[in-house]
């Protein structure tokens, strides 16, 4: 095979690796329901095929070995993440289970919320931001405390003297605070 053929094969391999990485990222984020196993085995076969070739050009050999090393590192990372998912210790899945379960509930405190309640809600909001949309500005403690007090006043005006707790909920990629009646 000529050097341009080797170069095209290596460029194609690099592109396939980028696509495979994207497919696994989508799978781990939950956008794709199934692991891209066929795409991974196809890439594995293509990598073995290119690795078996005798390439004289040092630059192309270097690129080939770099792609192989990158694939091995990504493969180890994917296998670790898959193992964590099977064991139930993958943090993104734990966070989703918490959000879709009962959420981060905080009981009502006096006069619109205690300092601990506001701190817990603020921590839950920051965790939600970190695990869903990446870094974004968090509300200040004072702003969150004011919001909780306003919501409590509105709920008491509308429904009488009810005890409520607030929880963090992620809906359609947006982080929301929801009030829920506490049954005692």
| Greatest mean pLDDT among 22-26, 84-88, 174-178 | 22-26
- The distance between the two most distant Cα atoms of the chain, rounded to a whole number of Å, is 82
Which has the higher per-residue pLDDT, 34 or 169?
34
Closest alpha carbon to 128 in 178, 54, 80, 65: 178
pLDDT at 60 over 50: yes
pLDDT tens sequence across 69-110 = 999 999 999 999 988 878 777 777 666 666 655 444 444 444
Is position 36 within any domain?
yes
Residue 37: give the domain boundaries.
Answer: 3-89
Is position 84 within any domain?
yes
Together in a domain, 66 and 113 = no
Using alpha carbons only, what angle is made at residue 49 by residues 48 and 52, rounded to the nearest 5 degrees?
85
**Domains contained in the chain, number:** 2
pTM of the model: 0.52
Mean pLDDT of 13-19: 95
Beta bridge partners of 175: 170
């Amino acid at each position: 095979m000529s050097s341009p053929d080797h170069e095209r094969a290596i460029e194609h391999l690099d592109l396939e690796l980028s696509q495979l990485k994207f497919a696994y990222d989508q799978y781990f984020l939950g956008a794709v329901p199934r692991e891209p196993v066929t795409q991974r085995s196809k890439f594995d076969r293509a990598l073995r095929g290119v690795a078996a070739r005798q390439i004289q050009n040092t630059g192309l050999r270097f690129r080939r070995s770099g792609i192989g090393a990158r694939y091995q590192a990504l493969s180890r990372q994917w296998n670790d993440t898959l193992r964590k998912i099977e064991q139930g210790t993958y943090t993104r899945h734990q966070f989703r289970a918490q959000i879709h379960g009962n959420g981060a509930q905080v009981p009502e405190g006096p006069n619109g919320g205690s300092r601990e309640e506001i701190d817990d809600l603020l921590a839950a909001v920051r965790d939600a931001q970190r695990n869903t949309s990446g870094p974004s500005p968090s509300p200040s403690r004072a702003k969150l405390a004011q919001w909780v007090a306003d919501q409590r006043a509105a709920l008491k005006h509308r429904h009488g003297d009810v005890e409520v707790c607030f929880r963090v909920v992620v809906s359609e990629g947006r982080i929301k605070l929801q009030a829920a009646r506490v049954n005692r």
